[in-house]
A = this chain, B = another copy of it.
């Protein structure tokens, strides 16, 4: 099936016309967002939201962290993982209709620790490749000790929805003749030229997978594959 099933948890109470359930949209947002925000209910019953790196492998979302970190120690646990890309500032003629263009994905689910060594390896490679595609194959693999210190969590993509706003300002008809400017200021996430480590040997060349970064300032949107 090409779309996630809408549920009570994934149907927004506001602006339902912005909701998207197709996998292509959801995957693209998860793949493009550099970080996500992981929400859990803390031991005192209060919400906790922390930024973290994620990676998607098919219909599985992986998170990782130190085995000492609070949320990772508490797994399996209910989580909400949200990834947001801001695409523009929408300046309407009225204060009320100001908005942002954005694409966001909200994943509800149960985060379970991944114990299988093969799946852990796939997940950790995916997390490195999420940051820079191609990098996992070109760095020193994790040692046994490093692996033992790393917790990997999996959330199956099931109760998932995206929300997308695009386009211009939606003003009241009676405001159109007003004296106020209206329009959109585009927002992008841009990668700068790579800054080599001071301890690299002289003449160390930039790896091929970083060349597109240097030449193309915008982080490429990756497909839904």
Residues of B within 8 A of A122 (CB): none
Shortest Cβ gap from A89 to chain B (Å):
5
Check A139–B180 contact: CB distance below 8 A. yes
| Secondary structure dominating the interface of A | mixed
Check B49–A81 contact: CB distance below 8 A. yes
Residues of B within 8 A of A102 (CB): 35, 51
Q: Of A20-28, A112-120, A188-196, which stretch is located at the interface?
A: A188-196
Judge whether A100 is part of the interface by a CB distance below 8 angstroms: yes
What residues of chain A have their CB less than 8 Å away from a CB belonging to chain B?
A: 9, 13-14, 34-35, 37-42, 44-51, 53, 65-66, 68-70, 78-82, 84, 86, 89, 91-96, 98, 100, 102, 104, 106, 108, 124-125, 128, 131-132, 135-136, 138-143, 146, 150, 168-169, 171, 175-176, 178, 180-200, 204-207, 210, 213, 219
29 contacts between A and B (CB under 8 A): A9-B42, A13-B69, A14-B65, A34-B187, A45-B78, A47-B47, A47-B79, A48-B106, A49-B81, A49-B106, A51-B84, A94-B139, A94-B140, A94-B146, A95-B124, A95-B128, A95-B142, A95-B146, A96-B146, A98-B139, A138-B180, A168-B198, A171-B199, A176-B199, A182-B196, A183-B197, A185-B192, A187-B191, A188-B189
